[in-house]
Structure 1
Amino acid sequence: MLKYTGERIIPELMKPTNGMLLEHLARYHFAIHYLNGRVLDFACGSGFGSQAMAKAAKKRINQIVGIDIDAASIQYANAHYYHPSVSFQQADAVDPSLPEKLGQFDVIVSFETLEHIEDEGQYMSNIFHMLKPGGTLIISTPFGLGRGKPTSEPFHVHQLTEEEFKQLFHNYSQVDFYYQKGVLVEPGRQGLHYPIGIAVCTK
């Protein structure tokens, strides 16, 4: 049985009003507008987001592949979030052979993953090589003190500053930045603090 650890989002074990659950749902709903063709849910966790996207964009997608490094999460996803257009499999985000194993995608979604990754370069390289030319990446991360700096979150390697986050996407032809505060996702307003950044990138 998959256990709620404070990082893994398992809707069945959480109150509908749980703030972290609502934030995650808001990000997936934000991504729905961009979905088409073959989609990768990078670090899919319990799988609820992959299924939600498949249901909402069923006329525009061909397949959603959800991957996660945690075997228990993949087992839970297969048991609880089956959808005919979705497949779940265990995989490591920084495995250099990942692009060869999974192929390319029209859209890659990677929410709240970056802050858990030590080998940031390999992670971003895998994403870039798995994204088709003209494809869309939607990626989010919480802001913090910066690369290599301590964080109060026990499962986070570090949390990038806003500037560090923005510097990750120079290989893309177009990048639009959005910000999240609770369930609100918007381009950003002067003087308002946003704890989470979201980048929408076109290769």
Structure 2
Amino acid sequence: MKPTNGMLLEHIARYYFAEPYIQGRVLDIACGSGYGCHMVAKDRKREVTELVGVDNDPETIAYANVEYNHQKVKYIQGDALDPELPERLGLFDTILSFETIEHVADDLVFMDQLYRMLKPGGTLVLSSPFGRGRGMQTSEPFHVHQLTAEEFESLFARYAFDDVEIYYQRGVTFEKPRDGVRYFIGVAVCRKRKDEVLDR
């Protein structure tokens, strides 16, 4: 948590980037130690009714409950690919998923899970680092694989989103793609159609 930790600054920047889209009942999937949940609950206290932080590690959840406790935040242990998770957690107006999809065995099942938990009219903000592609080895020991930029952008075509905006993160800044610039992290802001049937 040192202020000179560049990776930490990038993570915090993603929460700041997402804040204008955050409202209502919020899910932060793979919330980690909880600093992002706490930050959002404080900064968006008027817009957020409840924030649920989910992580699969019990020690991390125990830490979050102590260090980043907030009256609007509830931390829950859970597996993002658990088919019972949507029924257990219910529906959300906003879902945040930062640097998670590269850690799961099946990114498409993961996306299905998020879509099931997102209310019609709700917003998903999801980020992922880029790499060699689905099914390809990565140098990161905890990453199953890292999608290419093209695979990342195509993730959202399977769903009834009214609008998908793709941004690219460079350090703590976010921008639309520019010719000749190589990007390492993509961020998508997806708005679910209001008339979408809940059981897809």
Q: Is the shorter-chain TM-score for this pair beyond 0.5, marking a shared fold?
A: yes
> Out of 92, 111, 118, which is 2:105 matched to?
118
CA distance in 1 between partners of 2:67 and 2:177 (Å): 36
Aligned identity (percent) is: 57
SS at match of 2:139: coil
Counterpart for residue 30 of structure 1 = 17
> Out of 138, 154, 165, which is 1:167 matched to?
154
**Structure 2: runs of 5 or more not aligned:** 193-200
Counterpart for residue 198 of structure 2 = none
Counterpart for residue 196 of structure 1 = 185
The yes-or-no answer on 1:98 pairing with 2:63 is no
How far the C-alpha of 1:130 sits from its partner, in A, is: 0.2
Runs of 4+ in 1 over 2 A off after TM superposition: none
Counterpart for residue 176 of structure 1 = 165
How far the C-alpha of 1:188 sits from its partner, in A, is: 2.4
SS at match of 2:168: strand
Counterpart for residue 83 of structure 1 = 70
User: What is the letter of the counterpart of residue 21 of structure 1?
Assistant: L
Counterpart for residue 68 of structure 1 = 55
SS at match of 2:21: coil
> Out of 34, 41, 46, which is 1:47 matched to?
34
Contact 1:71/1:90, CA 8 A, preserved across alignment: yes
CA distance in 2 between partners of 1:132 and 1:100 (Å): 13
How far the C-alpha of 1:24 sits from its partner, in A, is: 0.2
User: What is the letter of the counterpart of residue 195 of structure 1?
Assistant: F
How far the C-alpha of 1:121 sits from its partner, in A, is: 2.3
User: What is the letter of the counterpart of residue 112 of structure 1?
Assistant: E
Equivalent residues in 2 for 1:1-20 (5 A)? 11=1, 15-20=2-7
Two-structure CA RMSD over aligned residues (Å): 0.7
CA distance in 2 between partners of 1:184 and 1:121 (Å): 28
| TM-score between both structures, scaled by the size of structure 2 | 0.93
